[in-house]
Amino acid sequence: MFDMEIRTDSYENMLEDVATYHMWAPMRRMAVGGMHHIFELWEYMEKFNCDMVAMYDQLQCKGMQGVHGLFEDEFRKRNVNAFWIPHALPDCRTVSRAEIRRQINDYMTTVMHEEPLDPSLLDFDDSMTW
């Protein structure tokens, strides 16, 4: 949604673009938008010259679970470093933020062979945060 332009040259164009924006709002677009939005990833990767992808694996979204393998195949075919981050939008207790950080850190050290600039940031208590 970040690259969508809203025309302001006329009232009608503005209303049409705002309506499209709301129609494509993230969850609405994912729920009923079909496959088009999912595979825009390849266009954005080329546009921004990306060589790594962090994919959110929404645990309650059966639609994305269905295309998980398709992405894995494409990542291999395109030689793209990618990892999946499990999460549950309605309830952050399902997968804690600490668990998400741990998975990212593990990927960066084991697959990418990177070392943290500040190891004290790898594990910290965020139980009282939003």
Dump pLDDT digits (tens) for 68-111: 888 889 899 999 999 888 877 666 677 888 888 888 999 999 99
What whole-number percentage of the chain has pLDDT above 70? Answer: 75
Domain ranges of the chain: 54-121
Give the contacts of 120 (CB within 8 A, at least 6 positions apart). Answer: none
> Within its chain, how far is the Cα of 123 from the centroid?
23
Cβ count within 10 A of residue 60 = 12
pLDDT surpasses 60 at 124? yes
Tokens of 106: 């593990």
**Cβ of 71: how many Cβ atoms within 10 Å?**
19
d(CA 20, CA 28): 11
Interval 3-62: pLDDT, tens: 778 899 999 999 998 888 777 666 555 555 555 667 778 888 899 998 899 887 777 666
What is the residue whose two structure tokens read 């600039």? Answer: 117
DSSP state of 85: E
